[in-house]
Structures are given as C-alpha cells and as structure tokens.
Amino acid sequence: MKKYFGVRGSFRKKVKAVDGVSLNIKRGETLGVVGESGCGKSTLGKTILRLLDPTSGKVIFESRDVTKVKGGALREYWRNAQMVFQDPHTSLDPRMTIASTLLEPIRQFKIDVGDEEEFLVKQMEVVGLGREHLYRYPHELSGGQKQRVAILRAIITRPKFIVLDEPTSSLDVSVQAQILELLKDLQKKFNLTYLFISHDIAVVKYMSNRMAVMYLGKVVELGPADTVFESPQHPYTQFLLAAVPVPDPNITRSRKKMLIQGEPPSPINPPPGCRFHPRCPHAMDICKRSEPPLAMIGNSHCVYCWLYAKK
C-alpha cells in the first residue's frame, strides 16, 4: 500500500508517507508497529481504516477488498474496524457527556441495545468505570479515565479489529500500566485483533505477538516481537533498540553504545535505493542504487536489507 500526500505549492513533490507496505494481520493477534517520527506508522493505521484513502494498493479485511468501498459497505467495515487515538483530550468531544459519546456509534450503526442507560452502565463496568461517570464531561475525568472511555467507544460495537495509535503515550507511567492490562483483558474477552502503533518500543514489545519496524515509509523488519527484539537483523532496528533507555542501571552501564549518525531524511525526497543507506554503517554500492528485497531469517522473521539478500 502506498499513501502519498501532496505538498502545498508544488505539483510534483509528494510526501511519501507510506511507500509500499505489505502486511498481514492474523485474527486474534497483536501486530505492533514501531518507528520514529515521519516513518509513516500513524498514516499506515489511518489508511488501513480508510480514515485516509490510499494512493495505491489494497486493504483486504476478512477476504473482502475494502479499499474503495463506499456507503453501506464502508459503514459495515467501520462497524468491525475501529480506532483508539493517542490523545483522549482531543479525541473526546468536550461538549458531549460520556453517555452521548458512547451512544454515538450505537446510533450510527443502528444497534438495538434495549434500555440505553442500563446498557451503558454494563459497558462501563467492562472498562472499570461506573454509573457516576456517565453524565460527566471529559474535562471532569482524569487522563486514564478518558482513555478508558475512548477504548470503550471503540469496542462498544463489538468490532473485530482495532487500530491503537499511541494509546498510552500521553498517560503517566502507572496509568499506562492499567490501560495496557485492560487492553490485554479486552482482547482475550472479545477475541480482538490489534494493530498497536507506538514509538515506545518497550510497550510494543510487551503488547505484541509480532512486531514491524518502519523507516521512512517502509517496513524494514518484521517478525515475532521477542525475536526481533532479541536478535534484530536490520541495521536500523539495531540502532533503534540500542537507543531505548532501559530502567536497569547495570544493563545500561554495560551496554555497548550504538549511536546513529545524522538526522532522518525528509519523506518528500527519500534517498534512492535503500532508504536507510545514508546513515547505515554497512552500506554497500547496491544499497545506494536499488531497494532491498525481502529476505527470510527463519520462517517467520523477515528483513528488507541487501546484507541478507540471497545472491
């Protein structure tokens, strides 16, 4: 899939936010996506959900091609695929009570719930909130409570697939732990499939079964989360993981220092060949000329890098 954005003032230039990403997500799993700013992970999430329309490529949900659907078919997709955003302060309408916010998807998809208030109270219990929160406004709730409401809003139609875009990044550490555990419980309870996007690698590793690493619009490595973390193959992944500060003084002291050089280039003018070659300590001639092919390491771990390509 590709998602390009136009650049104001220029007809030719495009921001190649997502530039040829192919992924599959298995039912019931959590696929994590990590990467730094500008790598395209948020755009990927939004485009998969059709909050943005792809420039090219396909999105296939449960064997149905939803790339270009409209109207009733699109609504049907959205009933089954939802999103939780990073900042609950802006994702909840400050002029609507919690009850109104939660009823919106119910009304939108014309779901019959019987007594609305009783239905809502039961739903609130699922995310650890009470009747007393129903008629409050977002500003009367804490960050953690707001995010619980955002999560409830996403699951209230019992979707199958949820894209979580930095769901805990704006929360305090101890609240983050509560929300992550809640997300895990809900996944088991309702057999949900998650696409978990975050810049926080420790959180992604904790939550995900498989993990994809993105750089400048492309996936550079993909595999089981533990495996990618313990034996990263792509040079960028190695730098990225080495940069994560670990809350363990002995380990950080004895860790080999690996600092990446330079700044990430602009997605308007990505470098030719392998996007990472200007900053890669192992860059070869071919890396500057051609984009690397997919190479398998073991049977579920893959990397896009000329170092591993079969001759």
* Site stretch for other proteins (CB under 8 A), options 1-9, 44-52, 54-62, 203-211: 203-211
Query: Which CB, 156 or 182, lies closer to other proteins?
Result: 182
Q: Are 185 and 220 in contact (CB under 8 A)?
A: no
Query: Which CB, 123 or 237, lies closer to other proteins?
Result: 237
Residue 196 binding other proteins, by CB under 8 A: no
Site for other proteins, residues 176 to 195, rule: CB under 8 A = 176-178, 180-181
Chain length of the chain: 311
Residue 70 CB contacts under 8 Å (≥ 6 apart), including other chains: none
Query: Which CB, 242 or 295, lies closer to other proteins?
Result: 242
Kindly state the smallest distance separating residue 207's Cβ from other proteins, in Å: 9
Residue 202 binding other proteins, by CB under 8 A: yes
Q: Which of 9, 72, 94, 247 binds other proteins (CB under 8 A)?
A: 247
Query: Which CB, 7 or 243, lies closer to other proteins?
Result: 243
Q: Are 34 and 214 in contact (CB under 8 A)?
A: yes
Residue 291 binding other proteins, by CB under 8 A: no
x-or-dash string of contact with other proteins, 85-104, rule CB under 8 A = --------------------
With b for 16 or more beta-carbon neighbours within 10 A and e for fewer, the 163-199 pattern comes to bbbbbbebbeeebbebbbebbeebbeeeebbbbbbbb
Kindly state the smallest distance separating residue 249's Cβ from other proteins, in Å: 5
CA distances (Å), origin 125, targets 20, 52, 118, 131: 41, 33, 11, 8
Residue 244 binding other proteins, by CB under 8 A: yes
Q: Which of 139, 188, 259, 299 binds other proteins (CB under 8 A)?
A: 259
For residue 261, how many other CB atoms are within 10 A of its CB?
Answer: 9
Supply 18's token pair. 């997502």
Helix (H, G, I), strand (E, B) or coil at 228: helix
Residue 114 binding other proteins, by CB under 8 A: no
